[in-house]
Amino acid sequence: MKHQFIKVAAASPALKIADPAYNATKIIEIIEQQSEKNTELLVFPELSLSGYTCGDLFLQQPLLDGCLSALKRVAEATKGKKMLVFVGLPLAHDGKLYNCAAALSNGEVRGFVPKTHLPNYNEFYEARYFSPAPEGTSWHRLGSGEGDGAYLSAELVFRDEAHPEVAVGCEICEDLWAAGSPSVRLAARGAVIIVNLSASNETVGKREYRHKMIAAQSGKNVCAYVYAAAGECESTSDTVFAGNSMVYENGVCLAESKPFSGEICEAEVDVGFLSNERRRINTFRADPENGDWLDATFVTENDLTLRAVDPMPFVPQGEGERRERAEQILQIQAHAFARRLKHTASRTAVIGVSGGLDSALALLVTCRAFDILGKSREDILAVSMPGFGTGIRTKNNATSLMQALGVTSRQIPISQTVLKHFKDIGHDPAEMNATYENAQARYRTMVLMDLANETGGLVVGTGDLSELALGWCTYNGDHMSMYAVNCSVPKTLVKYLVRAEAERLGGRVEIVLKGVLNTAISPELLPPDEEGNIAQKTEDIVGPYELHDFYLYHFLRRGDSPAKTLYLAARAFAGKYDRATLKKWLVVFYRRFFAQQFKRNCVPDGVKVGSVSLSPRADLRMPSDASAALWLEEAENL
């Protein structure tokens, strides 16, 4: 299994009602096609061997016998293939008739899963023909030979022999809609993938409701959900079926076959992420001892061919969704800071404005917070503190932004004071080392803190999530504040928030913010070059933020190993970075992340806005002296 991905598919064959031989032929054709694509888990709709809309024909022995013969043909077609296949059929067992899913692998019927919840409120009235799943587990004979048969139970879980973490449970159509869905029990017993053989008819609004149901089921069960829907070849006497199949993973839709399209729904499921998520969420209750486990062989070593890997996982893809998400985040930041200002009865907010993106976002959030409280923006004290490396462009950005937002602005040059400090501590200013840089950052923080004391206010932190992850901040300098509004906003998202606020405010503010958006990222602690250009570009030193944000997301949110992270990065950034560059910055990421934990263990309060936070009080409990050896060894040897 390559990096713990499993290829799954849901197909709706062009069947004939009550013609199992014909239907088996069509199912076998799809099995052969999907085998060529290295599909490992293939699901067909409810009663796919007979057709769902047979009505009273389900009570006819010829149809039941024909379905068993067809089942054996389909099972034989799986021989020699690494694939687990689910098909539906009516099955007579111990004097009752059950609506069953049959699991097939390597030429054998591995088990029968009967439907638990039978609808009796609609035009299909399944309870007229079928019985609900019986209690316990029994053996269904398929021939006269010893062992020629399979277990029948609604509690069966099918797992790969070589990869037992890949476990599959099954429920049928109405089981999903019922309050006591079998999938809840099956997931607790270890099924990380749930398949649903369904025959949900198409009516106005049902597709949307179906999405909500499957999203919720896959999310609360922390599983993948493969839903195979009956198609338009079913009888249309009273209803129509659209073949609207779907694949979800932990509440997120990976793939969908559009209604009436005849498409096969294909996706690649990240079993590793689901397993990691179940370990992380302690409300997920595992009960593996009570399951009926059956082995099969279906996992292969496929490369990803379908799954899109988002290069910016913190940033929504669609423009409309980005705007909506930006507004939501800005509201969270502003309301959180407004609450802190109100609680501390602060008269002012003090913020250092550099002319860069992070301080621009923090100032915009602060203005929102003051607007929420009905406080005058004149009580926001925005301070520009030009130093050795401050360029004309960023200085103008800072001044223009403060004026456009109507806050109180001050400019306090720091160069002469820092030079005096160098003399006090015996540092040669010609030596532009860490002391040269950090002294500026710490003095700026001291100025802000003292101004806050002087005006009865709070110092607003401007540092973002990406800087915290890399430790790209000066300890007790820009590392410290009285409330950090940006602390869980990654660098790749900051510019979208600034752009969204620029568009909302318009006018002079928008013009200024566009200039900020086009300014290179830099701490500006080293003097400009001879032409006055920024000499210290952050991404030249620590690496591209888009890579580090990608690595951070896959490390903390997905729980991916270095090898898996590099594999996914190569897909996400294909054509932009070569493998050597991706590996170089991946090693830098692990080295810096572990080495800089001591800074994160004493960060100020700040609001969490997304799924990843580095606060020791929110998400990350990690010792400052933890070794990175395991991660670095794997990354360096890739």
State the pLDDT at residue 518.
Answer: 87
Mean pLDDT taken over the chain: 93
CATH of the domain at 97: 3.60.110.10
**Would you say residue 264 has pLDDT above 70?**
yes
Total length of the chain: 638
Phi then psi for 43, rounded to 5 degrees?
-125, 130
Q: Would you call 100 a catalytic residue per the annotation?
A: no
**Would you say residue 523 has pLDDT above 70?**
no
- List the single range of 63-77, 279-293, 426-440 with lowest mean pLDDT: 279-293
**Would you say residue 520 has pLDDT above 80?**
no
pLDDT mean over 20-25: 98
For every residue of 172-195, DSSP letters joined together read ETHHHHSTT-HHHHHHHTT-SEEE
State the pLDDT at residue 540.
Answer: 80
Residue 312 within any structural domain of the chain:
no
Asked if 395 and 451 sit in the same domain, the reply is yes
Instruction: Give the Cα separation of 617 and 603 in Å (integer).
Output: 9
Asked if 403 and 541 sit in the same domain, the reply is yes
Q: Would you call 173 a catalytic residue per the annotation?
A: yes
The confidence band for 214, taking pLDDT boundaries of 50, 70 and 90, is: very high
Residue 305 within any structural domain of the chain:
no
The confidence band for 468, taking pLDDT boundaries of 50, 70 and 90, is: very high
State the pLDDT at residue 124.
Answer: 64
Instruction: Give the Cα separation of 386 and 443 in Å (integer).
Output: 12
Helix (H) or strand (E) holding 572: helix 562-572
Candidates 599, 602, 585; CA nearest to 638 is 585
Asked if 363 and 286 sit in the same domain, the reply is no
State the pLDDT at residue 531.
Answer: 62
State the pLDDT at residue 618.
Answer: 80
Asked if 582 and 476 sit in the same domain, the reply is yes
> What does each C-alpha distance from 609 to 250, 292, 314, 321, 622 come to in angstroms?
20, 42, 11, 16, 20
**Would you say residue 236 has pLDDT above 70?**
yes
**Residue 189 identity (one-letter amino acid):** R
Asked if 253 and 292 sit in the same domain, the reply is yes
Residue 57 within any structural domain of the chain:
yes
Residue 364 within any structural domain of the chain:
yes
Domain with 244 in it: 5-296
Instruction: Give the Cα separation of 47 and 172 in Å (integer).
Output: 10
**Would you say residue 123 has pLDDT above 70?**
no
Domain count for the chain? 2
Residue 310 within any structural domain of the chain:
no
Q: Would you call 46 a catalytic residue per the annotation?
A: yes
Q: Report the SS3 class of residue 319.
A: helix
CATH of the domain at 537: 3.40.50.620
Output the CA torsion sign for 484, 485, 488, 492: negative
- Exposure of 458 by Cβ count < 10 A (0-12 exposed, 13-18 middle, 19+ buried)? buried
Residue 434 within any structural domain of the chain:
yes
Asked if 79 and 194 sit in the same domain, the reply is yes
Asked if 287 and 357 sit in the same domain, the reply is no
pLDDT mean over 247-255: 97
Asked if 65 and 159 sit in the same domain, the reply is yes
Candidates 327, 363, 333, 325; CA nearest to 516 is 363
DSSP state of 139: E
Instruction: Give the Cα separation of 537 and 514 in Å (integer).
Output: 19
Residue 192 within any structural domain of the chain:
yes
Asked if 618 and 479 sit in the same domain, the reply is yes
Candidates 81, 85, 78, 91; CA nearest to 20 is 91
Please pick, among 54, 173, 233, 473, the residue that the annotation labels catalytic.
Answer: 173
pTM: 0.92
Asked if 379 and 256 sit in the same domain, the reply is no
The confidence band for 148, taking pLDDT boundaries of 50, 70 and 90, is: confident
Asked if 289 and 379 sit in the same domain, the reply is no
State the pLDDT at residue 463.
Answer: 95
**Would you say residue 456 has pLDDT above 70?**
yes
Asked if 475 and 616 sit in the same domain, the reply is yes
State the pLDDT at residue 288.
Answer: 65
The confidence band for 115, taking pLDDT boundaries of 50, 70 and 90, is: very high
Q: Give residue-wise pLDDT tens across range 316-349.
A: 988 889 999 999 999 999 999 999 999 999 999 9
Residue 205 within any structural domain of the chain:
yes
Please pick, among 26, 81, 115, 491, the residue that the annotation labels catalytic.
Answer: 115
Tell me the HSE value of 449 on the side-chain side, using a 13 A CA sphere: 13
Please pick, among 46, 268, 277, 524, the residue that the annotation labels catalytic.
Answer: 46
Q: Are strands 246-249 and 252-256 parallel, antiparallel or unpaired?
A: antiparallel
**Would you say residue 290 has pLDDT above 70?**
no
